[in-house]
């Protein structure tokens, strides 16, 4: 046994294998540490770039993102962020280039990259190309922002029906996007359908009762509600009803009732009521009329809008709603909300549930 060569050589063979494994482990650790350090550096540069962008320093942001891309040219986030800064700096060509790079990488921020690509084309005076990009993206993603941006571009080239369909689909996906309701209201105003211009405007003001945009849009709502009414004498009013050809004919029946609701504020017994009290009563009448017209009608207008406001009225919450959406109009609103906390809380609980 002492002369068996295997006995002498086996103990020396095992250490050689351990050394090989050790070298491999050290190599892997080095690679992992290097990759981790590289990723950390890229992330740090991206965060710096975002900070520059947020302060409106787009050139500095772009230079910072370029440093990150030198380290990792395939970073989806760095490509997306630099595309954002390029479009903010009105460099549409480079914004498109990096947006397409994000899409080619097929990792993160895909939908957002399509939106950027479409926006850049539209802002660069190529709306038809932008529409094609949005349509490709809409086949892959159900996202309200895609639908909204598509609708805006379609409106700019007078493709109103495409814009209309896209907005209805987008609102179905995400009803809390205020701009979609606002744009839909504008489309229905263009179609001269007053009732259908009013309804999404109500919802926009529910979402944005006191934003920079709400002052103008609230005034527009009040103008819609009084449209077609003129006083011919101290006690007589002329009512002119325009029946639209571009809206839903099932809403035409509400046109006359909306005008009559505006007249009711001038009738005997209402002289002592404030403007906001009369506004609330007018809204109550409109919501209940629409609820009665619903019957067997279906679709987003009836299943979402009409059902929402009809249920609101039937729950006795039209008054807090009316004051809530009037926040941009009068100091009386704040007083009412403060003095009717329980009623206002009931309204907010209803909306949030």
Domain ranges of the chain: 199-353
Distance, in Å, from the CA atom of 203 to the CA atom of 351, rounded to the nearest integer, reads 11
The CA-atom distances, in angstroms, between 226 and each of 109, 143, 177, 263, 350 are 46, 36, 27, 8, 29
> In 10 A of CB 88, how many CB atoms?
14
Alpha-carbon radius of gyration of the chain: 31
DSSP label at residue 271: T
Q: Cα–Cα–Cα angle for 142, 189, 198, nearest 5°?
A: 80
> How would you write the pLDDT of the chain (353 residues) with one tens digit per residue?
444 443 333 344 444 445 555 555 545 454 444 455 577 888 899 999 999 999 999 999 999 999 999 999 999 999 999 999 999 999 999 999 999 999 999 998 999 999 999 999 999 999 999 999 999 999 999 999 999 999 999 999 999 999 999 999 999 999 999 999 999 999 999 998 889 999 999 999 999 999 999 999 999 999 998 876 555 555 554 555 555 555 566 787 777 777 666 655 555 555 667 889 889 998 998 999 899 888 778 899 999 999 999 999 999 999 999 999 999 887 888 889 889 999 999 999 999 98
Q: What is the pTM of this model?
A: 0.82
Q: Nearest CA to 257 among 308, 293, 301?
A: 293
Alpha carbons 132 and 115: distance in angstroms, whole number: 12
């Amino acid at each position: 046994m002492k002369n068996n060569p295997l006995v002498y050589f086996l103990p020396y063979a095992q250490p050689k294998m351990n050394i090989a494994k050790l070298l491999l482990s050290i190599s892997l650790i080095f690679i992992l540490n290097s990759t981790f350090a590289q990723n950390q550096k890229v992330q740090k540069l991206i965060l710096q770039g975002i900070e520059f962008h947020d302060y409106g320093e787009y050139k500095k942001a772009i230079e910072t993102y370029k440093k990150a891309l030198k380290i990792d040219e395939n970073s989806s986030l760095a490509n997306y962020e630099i595309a954002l800064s390029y479009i903010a700096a009105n460099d549409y060509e480079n914004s498109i280039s990096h947006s397409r790079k994000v899409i080619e990488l097929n990792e993160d921020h895909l939908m957002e990259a399509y939106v950027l690509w479409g926006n850049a084309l539209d802002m660069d005076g190529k709306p038809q190309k932008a529409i094609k990009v949005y349509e490709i993206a809409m086949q892959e993603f159900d996202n309200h922002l895609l639908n909204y941006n598509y609708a805006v571009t379609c409106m700019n080239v007078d493709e109103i029906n495409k814009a209309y369909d896209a907005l209805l689909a987008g609102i179905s996906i995400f009803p809390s996007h205020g701009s979609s309701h606002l744009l839909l209201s504008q489309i229905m105003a263009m179609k001269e359908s007053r009732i259908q211009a009013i309804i999404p405007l109500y919802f926009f003001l529910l979402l944005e009762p006191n934003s920079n945009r709400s002052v103008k849009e609230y005034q527009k709502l009040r103008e819609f509600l009084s449209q077609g009414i003129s006083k011919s004498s101290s006690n007589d009013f002329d009512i002119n009803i325009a029946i639209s050809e571009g809206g839903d004919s099932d809403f035409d029946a509400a046109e006359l009732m909306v005008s009559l609701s505006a007249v009711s504020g001038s009738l005997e017994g209402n002289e002592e009521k404030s403007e906001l009290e009369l506004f609330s009563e007018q809204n109550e009448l409109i919501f209940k009329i629409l609820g009665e017209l619903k019957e067997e009608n279906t679709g987003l207008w009836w299943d979402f809008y009409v059902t929402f406001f009809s249920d609101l009225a039937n729950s006795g919450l039209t008054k807090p709603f009316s004051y809530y959406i009037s926040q941009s109009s009068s100091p009386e609103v704040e007083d009412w909300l403060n003095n009717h906390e329980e009623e206002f809380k009931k309204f907010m609980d209803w909306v949030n549930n």
